[in-house]
Amino acid sequence: MTVTAPSLVGIYRYPVKGLSAEAMTTVKLEAGETLPCDRAWAIENGGRGFDPAAPRFLPKIHFLMLMRDERLAALTTCFEETTQTLTINRDGAAVARGGLSTPTGRMVIEQFLAAFMKQAMRGAPRIVSAPGHSFTDSREKCVHIVNLASVRELVRVAGRSVDPLRFRPNLVIDGAEPWSEFAWVGRDIEIGSARLTVTERTERCAATNVNPATGARDMDIPAVLGRKWGHTDFGIYARVTKAGVLSVGDAVAT
């Protein structure tokens, strides 16, 4: 029997919380940080609770998010890091484009979202950010890892295809045993020249029920996990403890 070592097969970041993933082939990680530009912006839903001058963790319900606002998944985005320009596409056509670093650029995006998400808005949307701040669902800056073997087990039990992007991963690995990633909690793993400490399993919410390709809420993944495995966890969080570069195809040393 040939034993395959785990490897990195996908890298993703989400420049704006709740909007689509951006695939990457290589990335440099810094200790104690998320992927560069990962969830660096968020869209306040009618509130003014986030203060860029004194950034702090806020629960995701404060922002537009897939758990509640599945219509967001009908949009695809393209982020240009050098200009910090976000382009929003719908049905293959660009519908809004603006620089997130400028008030005018943000206003263009906000006006589009105010109309597109009209039924979900509690007031005018506001795109917010702060230097060094990341709008992750965890109070600690981390990287989210998903094991494709576990996805395939979920597919087998659910009897239908499951896009790994439902779980909003930063890193996707393959070649490990299904669910073996749960045993990595408290341990270090190495990918490329970076080292990460796995901190906890990821408890899943209703956001995973939204199909990232269609925007339809077409599954109940937490319920499937609970019925078959007795928990609602899928994926793991890890903290970057040693800076380094990792690329698709790199081995994952556990």
Number of Cβ atoms within 10 Å of the Cβ of 183:
13
Count: domains in the chain: 2
Contact criterion met (CB below 8 Å) for 86 and 39: no
Instruction: Specify the pTM.
Output: 0.94
Query: Residue 67 has what pLDDT?
Result: 83
Query: Residue 228 has what pLDDT?
Result: 96
Is the residue at 87 inside a domain? yes
Contact criterion met (CB below 8 Å) for 191 and 241: no
Same domain for 238 and 124? no
Question: How confident is the model over 130-145, as pLDDT tens digits?
Answer: 999 999 988 899 999 9
Is the residue at 1 inside a domain? no
Query: Residue 1 has what pLDDT?
Result: 39
* Segments in the chain below pLDDT 50: 1-3
Query: Residue 4 has what pLDDT?
Result: 67
Same domain for 166 and 243? yes
Same domain for 113 and 193? no
18's CB contacts (< 8 A; 6+ apart) are 42, 43, 63, 64, 65, 66, 69, 72
Note down the domain range covering 91: 42-128
The Cα–Cα gap between 172 and 146 comes to 5
Same domain for 86 and 157? no
Is the residue at 37 inside a domain? no
Same domain for 119 and 208? no
How far apart, in Å, do the first and last CA atoms of the chain sit?
A: 20
The Cα–Cα gap between 16 and 105 comes to 14
DSSP 3-state of 182: helix
